[in-house]
Structure formats: C-alpha cells, structure tokens
C-alpha cells in the first residue's frame, strides 16, 4: 500500500500562508490606526483596532487603543528634571525608569505615578556623599538584570555603581579621560564596558573598580557596546560592522557582520539568536537584524535618517528604533513590518521598553519622554 503525504503538505502550507497573511493584515491595520491617531481621527483608529485579531494584539495595539479610547492624539509624559541623555533603563520588575540629567544627577522615576523616586550625584566625587565641586551631565543609567544595582556614566568620564534601592554609591571608576559615549552592563552588573570619546572600549570589574581589559580603539565618534545575555561576551560596533569579545580578557572571538557600516547602536535579542544594528553613515540609514551565530542578514529596515538607538522587547517579538527624524518606531521581528511610531520634539537618541511591555521611553535633545498603557491580559 502506498501512502501519500501531498495532501497534508498542502494543508500545512495553506495554514502557514493564512497565518502569514493575517499577521501582515494586522500590521497594516495597526499602522493605519496610528496614522489616524496622529491625524486626529480617533474614531477611525478605534474601528481599525477593533478589527484586529485578539491573538495578535501586543503593545502597539494596547497603546493605540488607549489613545483612541481617550479620543486624543499620542502624547508623551516628560519628567521635569530630564535633559539630553544617551542610555536609559527600566527596572526589570518595577515601574521605574532610570536616566541621567545635565545637572550631574541620576534619577529614578515612577512611570505609573509620573513622580520621582529619588536622585543622586553621579559625577566625579559622588562617593563622598556631598555635592561635587564640578558638575557635568550624566549620559547613561543602567539597571542590572536583578534590579539591585544601577550603573551610570557621565560627561566627565566617571562610571559610578549604586545600590538601586537606596541610591547610595558603592564605587566610582575613572581610568580614561573623556566623555563616556557608550556603556553596557552585564546581567549581574559585575562587569561594565564603557567607551570614551577617544574610542577606547574598557571593561571594568565593578566590585573591585579595576580595569580588566581594553578592547581597542576602532571608532572615535561613539563606538556602541552591548553585553550578551550570558554576561560573558560583549559586542562592539564601529566603522566595519560588529565584533564579539570575551569581556574579561578582551580576546576577540570573531567578526559578527560586515554589511552594517557606521554601526551606532547595538542590541542583542533576549535569546542571543539575533543582533540589531542601527547605522548613521552618510550612505546607510537603516536598522539591520542579523543572525548572531552566522551573521546572516535577516531584515533590512530602511529609515529616512540615521539610527541612534535600537532595543528588543523582552520576548524578542518587537524591535524598537530611535531615529534622527524625531521618531521612535516599532517593528515586528517575524516579518520586518513597521507597526507603530511615536513622535518626539527633536532627534531621538535612545529607546527602551519595560519588561512588562506597558511603557516605552526615549530620549531626545529635549529630554526624556515616555508613554504608558495597561498590561496585557493574563492568558487563560
């Protein structure tokens, strides 16, 4: 007896094709809803959103529906102490956003209540528990993966490590002159990688405050760095794509990709399978998504201007980009389609989404802004 699987194959392909078409239609309708919102037509936006399948609704749907239900255009909140900053960070389990400010302090902000939780000096001399003699801007603020530690980087080249609950400084590190242009912290905040204006990417042991490795000087205008979720490896960007290093030793393992020149922003997906790269060169103005192991290009996401920030959501299903054209965009990582966008008063520099997908925050020359919505309903 002969058995044929042709019919089953056709059914599987048909189901897959139907699912793909449904996802594409969802992206089209949600994007159209955001267009309607910015045009001031909340009723049209709500009609479009109500037609979207419930199983596909994520942050971009919930946030748009919140604006549509309120009958208003998308509008962000802005913490009063904020100013231009480069790296912002959400607490992993609490509705808290950390950011630096031009006044020399780091702030922790409650995004639900839109109120300050606390602040601390984060420039040279901060461990003296007194107002520093010289003040400058704090450009980076990053929570550790467990939320217990907060690490900052300042315009004077100072890296400070704080107890995130009390904002008491634990240690202050400053071994290279110049502004901290880019910074990343591994999951437990035991390692910090910072890049100065000179292009040197330095790895510190944050508990002992000593330099462990110098990854070299490859880009003099802000080489981006990011740790992998394993806390062992760090990726650097630059003029020729991205490179992977062992953080503690500074040993280069391999070149990740070469087809994303002028890499100005990096993000690794939570499962470490993909890397997103934002470019700001005179020719390439796009966000790329590559496979982390083989470096194959998965998506090319063109933008009208250069990219300053990229971030994956906690589940890896969405990619956020911060563009110089004053927009934050949200893409579906399964098909590369743009789903939503948020407008800023000036060129955006960085972007982040909270772990529970209820808040998106970004920074521009005008300062830090954020929008909030309700959490997704629990699965039954």
**Which of 46-60, 225-239, 280-294 is modeled with the greatest confidence?**
46-60
Query: 316-367, pLDDT tens digit by residue?
Result: 999 999 999 999 999 999 999 999 999 998 899 999 999 999 999 999 888 9
Query: Residue 112 corresponds to which tokens in the numbers above?
Result: 């639900």
> Is the pLDDT reported for residue 225 higher than 80?
yes
Pair 275, 235: CB distance under 8 Å = yes
Residue 233's pLDDT band, with cuts at 50, 70 and 90, is very high
State the Cα–Cα distance between residues 161 and 110, nearest whole angstrom. Answer: 20
Sheet bearing 105-110, strands edge to edge = 89-90, 96-100, 105-110, 115-121
For residue 310 the two structure tokens come to: 């990229």
319 vs 315: CA distance, rounded Å: 10
Q: Distance between CA 155 and CA 250 in Å, rounded?
A: 24
Q: Which of 56-65, 130-139, 275-284, 308-317 has the lowest mean pLDDT?
A: 130-139
Contact 247, 186 (CB under 8 A): yes
More confident residue, 178 or 273: 273
Question: Which DSSP helix (H) or strand (E) runs through 7?
Answer: helix 6-38
Q: Which residue has the higher pLDDT, 18 or 310?
A: 310
- Say what percent of the chain tops pLDDT 90: 66
Angle 163-167-168 from CA coordinates, rounded to 5°: 75
Q: How far is CA 344 from CA 91, 169, 224, 258, in A?
A: 23, 33, 22, 31
Tens of pLDDT along 89-108?
999 999 999 999 998 999 99
* pLDDT mean over 21-48: 96
Q: Which residue has the higher pLDDT, 11 or 283?
A: 283
Is the pLDDT at 1 greater than 80? The verdict is no
Asked whether residue 4 carries a pLDDT value surpassing 60, the answer given is: no
- How many whole angstroms separate alpha carbon 163 and alpha carbon 153? 15
Interatomic CA distance for residues 310 and 320, integer angstroms: 6
* pLDDT confidence of residue 379: 52
Tell me whether strands 233-238 and 241-246 are parallel, antiparallel or unpaired: antiparallel
| C-beta of residue 68 within 8 angstroms of C-beta of residue 61 | no
Cα–Cα distance for residue pair 300/281, rounded to 1 Å? 15
Its pTM stands at 0.90
Higher pLDDT, 12 or 202: 202
Q: What is the pLDDT of residue 14?
A: 43
Whether residue 131 has pLDDT greater than 80: no
Banded model confidence at residue 237, pLDDT cuts 50, 70, 90: confident
Q: Which of 312, 371, 367 is nearest to 341 (CA)?
A: 371
Q: Which of 7-11, 264-268, 289-293 has the lowest mean pLDDT?
A: 7-11
Percent of the chain with pLDDT strictly greater than 70: 90
The model's pLDDT over 171-198, given as tens digits with 9 standing for 90+, comes to 998 866 678 888 999 999 999 999 887 7
Q: What integer best gives the mean pLDDT of the chain?
A: 88
Whether the predicted pLDDT of 158 surpasses 50: yes
CB 275 within 8 A of CB 289: yes
Mean pLDDT over 124-150 rounds to: 84
- pLDDT of res. 175: 64
166, 111 contact by CB (below 8 A): no
Residue bearing the bigger pLDDT, 61 or 84:
61
Mean pLDDT throughout 39-43? 97
């Amino acid at each position: 007896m002969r058995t044929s699987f042709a019919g089953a194959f056709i059914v599987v392909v048909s189901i897959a094709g139907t699912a793909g078409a449904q996802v594409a239609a969802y992206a089209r309708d949600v994007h159209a809803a955001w267009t309607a919102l910015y045009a001031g037509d909340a009723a049209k936006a709500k009609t479009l959103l109500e037609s979207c399948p419930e199983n596909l609704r994520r942050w971009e749907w919930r946030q748009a529906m919140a604006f549509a239900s309120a009958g208003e255009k998308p509008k962000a909140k802005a913490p009063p102490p904020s100013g231009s900053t480069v790296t912002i960070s959400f607490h992993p389990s609490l509705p808290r956003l950390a950011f630096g400010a031009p006044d020399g302090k780091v702030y922790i902000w409650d995004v639900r209540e839109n109120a300050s939780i606390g602040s601390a000096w984060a420039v040279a001399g901060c461990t003296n528990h007194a107002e520093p003699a010289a003040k400058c801007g704090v450009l980076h603020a990053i929570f550790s993966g467990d939320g217990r530690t907060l690490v900052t980087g300042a315009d004077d080249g100072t890296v400070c490590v704080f107890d995130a609950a009390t904002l008491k400084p634990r240690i202050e590190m400053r071994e290279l002159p110049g502004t901290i242009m880019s910074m990343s912290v591994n999951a437990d905040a035991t390692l910090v990688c910072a890049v100065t204006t000179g292009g040197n990417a330095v790895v510190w042991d944050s508990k002992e405050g000593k330099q462990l490795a110098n990854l070299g000087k490859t880009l003099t205008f802000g080489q981006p760095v990011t740790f992998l979720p394993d806390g062992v490896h760090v990726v650097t960007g630059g003029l020729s794509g991205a490179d992977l290093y062992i953080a503690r030793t500074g040993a280069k393992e391999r070149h990740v990709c070469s087809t994303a020149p002028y890499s100005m922003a990096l993000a690794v997906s939570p499962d470490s399978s993909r890397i997103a790269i934002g470019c700001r060169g005179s020719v390439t103005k796009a966000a790329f998504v590559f496979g982390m192991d083989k470096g194959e290009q998965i998506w090319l996401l063109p933008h009208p201007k250069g990219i300053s920030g990229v971030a994956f959501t906690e589940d890896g299903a969405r990619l956020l980009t911060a563009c110089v054209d004053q927009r934050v965009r949200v893409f579906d990582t399964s098909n590369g389609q743009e789903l939503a966008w948020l407008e800023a008063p000036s060129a955006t520099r960085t972007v982040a989404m909270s772990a529970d997908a209820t808040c998106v925050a970004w920074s521009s020359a005008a300062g830090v802004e954020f929008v909030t919505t309700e959490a997704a309903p629990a699965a039954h």
